[in-house]
Chain A
Amino acid sequence: MNQWKNFNKGLIAENAIFVQVLGMCPTLGTTTSAYNGLGMGLATTFVLVMSNIVVSLVRNYIPDKVRIPSFIVIIASFVTVVELTMQAYLPSLFEELGLFIPLIVVNCLVLGRAEAFASKNTVWSSTLDGLGMGLGFTLALFMLGSVREILGSGAWLGMKFIRGDGMLIFVLAPGAFLALAYLIAIMNKFNRKNA
């Protein structure tokens, strides 16, 4: 029951984007389409789960004073693994996400979970926590990407359903803030009803 909660809380109740508002840089930068949001979310999820596992495994062997540098090195290694793998096998997605993949290293969500959860909990709980947080993040990016793609390009997952352009502002940076604000507002209403 308790373990289920570790997984579950990241999805909605403590959703990284809608509730904690963490990791805004990739959130606003990469969600120009649903596919990009999904790709970025899954890449981050992988890094989050792997770094949570490793950090919780080594948490008792790392002296407190050097824990942050150690965590960063661990996270950076996994990010580089994702970067190389994506470049090799998904070159088109890599081109779209480009700069934002190396930036997963400094995503405060990843270091935040390593520091706040994985460094104090068991491997199994940390795995579930990483998976839940990552999937919550992915879900949020996918929703944001969908809204922006539908309104901005008149398409969803690359399938066009209007002629010509959509409301271009939603593909550009200001649209990211607008769409995110409305999604957070809707999520807040929804969460309060449940409480």
Chain B
Amino acid sequence: MAKKESTLLSMFLALFLVTLISAIILGFVYEFTKDAIAASRAAKQTEALKKVLPPFNNNPVQEMYKKAVDGDTLYFFPAREDSVLVGIAVNTFSPKGFSGMIRIMVGFLPDGTIKDVAVLEHKETPGLGEKMVRSKSNWSVQFQGKNPKTYRLAVKKDGGDVDAITASTISSRAFCDALERAYKNLTEGGAK
């Protein structure tokens, strides 16, 4: 079969049809995967909530409230057991990571003590800053049971109480920055 001539009409038609068909296919795939993507995001969030909060039996996602600070948003998830507040999880962030934004879920008990932390998103260096993630190292265990009222959320180099990850001071600083932001806004917001 001979190649099609490159006339204005044939070029127009070819590109139009190619893009039209692609758009239709992508529309279908998007519809098909939409629910699964939302479900996997929600599952990740719930999993993180369970990890950083004491046992609860309400749905913290329903009671979620937001607060816009420093050019981004903090999300607060109050956890209750039989309608008594047992803790608040904060989805916090720091733009100061070694390679951009870090998002962390941190759970506070009602008195402000950190119950636990879980990293949601990060782009830190594999093998170095990446150690902030619990599955890679136990570094973040040091925050458990610490109350930022007396515990200074800064690395030791900056006069704080946090042991930085070896060779990843910037990542560790960003981690502290995120926790500090969560704590400050939680206490300021009068949530307790």
Q: Are B36 and A89 in contact (CB under 8 A)?
A: yes
Q: When the two chains form their complex, are residues A168 and B127 in contact, meaning their CB atoms are under 8 A apart?
A: yes
Check: A159 CB closer than 8 A to any chain B CB.
no
- Per-position 1/0 for A165-191, Cβ under 8 A of B: 100100110000000000000000000
Give the chain A neighbours of B11 by CB distance below 8 A.
Answer: 63, 65-66
**B5 close to chain A: CB less than 8 A:** yes
A91 within 8 A of B: yes
Extra contacts, 16 of them, besides A58-B18, A69-B15 (Cβ < 8 A), are: A32-B126, A63-B4, A70-B18, A73-B15, A73-B22, A74-B22, A77-B22, A77-B25, A77-B26, A84-B37, A85-B33, A87-B33, A87-B37, A91-B41, A98-B123, A168-B127
Distance in angstroms from A47 CB to nearest chain B CB is 13
Q: Mark B106-131, 1 if CB is under 8 A from A, else 0.
A: 00000000000000000101111000
Q: Which residues of B contact A58 (CB under 8 A)?
A: 18
Chain B min CB distance to A81 (Å): 5
A76, B22: Cβ atoms closer than 8 Å: yes
Q: Please, which residue of chain A has its CB at the minimum distance from the CB of B38?
A: A88
Cα A65 to Cα B2 in complex, Å, equals 15
Contact between chains at B30 and A84 (CB < 8 Å): yes
- Residue of A66, A77, A85, A91 touching B14 (CB-CB under 8 A): A66
Residues of chain A with a CB closer than 8 A to B40's CB: 87-89, 91
Say whether B44 faces chain A, with CB atoms less than 8 Å apart: yes
Question: At the interface, yes or no: A130 with Cβ under 8 Å from chain B?
Answer: no
In the complex, which residues of chain B have a beta carbon less than 8 angstroms from the beta carbon of A60? 1-4
Q: Chain B residues near A66 (CB, 8 Å)?
A: 6, 11, 14-15
Interface flag for B59 (CB, 8 Å)? no
Interfacial residues, chain A to chain B (CB-CB below 8 A): 32, 58, 60-66, 69-70, 73-74, 76-77, 80-81, 84-85, 87-89, 91, 98, 152-153, 165, 168, 171-172
Chain B positions within 8 Å of A, measured between CB atoms, are: 1-7, 10-11, 14-15, 18-19, 22, 25-26, 29-30, 33, 36-37, 40-41, 44, 123, 125-128
Do A61 and B14 contact each other (CB < 8 Å), given the known contacts A73-B22, A171-B126? yes
CB-based contact B29/A85 at 8 Å: yes
Q: Knowing A73-B18, A73-B22, A74-B22 are in contact, say whether A80-B29 is a contact too (CB < 8 A).
A: yes
Cross-chain contact of A65 among B6, B26, B37, B127 (Cβ < 8 A): B6
Docked pose: A65 CA to B25 CA in angstroms: 25
Q: A70-B14, A171-B126 in contact; A80/B26 too (CB < 8 A)?
A: yes
| Residues of B close to A165: CB separation below 8 A | 127
- CB pair A84–B29 under 8 Å, yes or no, is yes
Question: Which A-B residue pairs are the 10 nearest by beta carbons?
Answer: A88-B36, A77-B22, A63-B6, A88-B33, A65-B6, A171-B127, A91-B40, A84-B33, A66-B11, A60-B1
Please state if B15 and A70 are interface contacts (CB–CB under 8 Å). Answer: yes
Q: Which residues of B contact A98 (CB under 8 A)?
A: 123
Question: Does the CB pair A63–B10 fall under 8 Å?
Answer: yes
Docked Cα-Cα span, A73 to B10, in Å, equals 17
B2 / chain A contacts, CB cutoff of 8 Å: 60
In the assembled complex, the CB of B9 is this many whole angstroms from the nearest CB of chain A, namely 10
Q: Is the CB of A153 within 8 A of B29?
A: no
A-B pairs with beta carbons under 8 Å apart, 19 shown: A60-B1, A60-B2, A61-B4, A62-B14, A63-B4, A63-B10, A63-B14, A66-B15, A69-B15, A73-B18, A74-B18, A84-B30, A87-B33, A87-B40, A88-B33, A88-B40, A91-B40, A153-B127, A171-B126
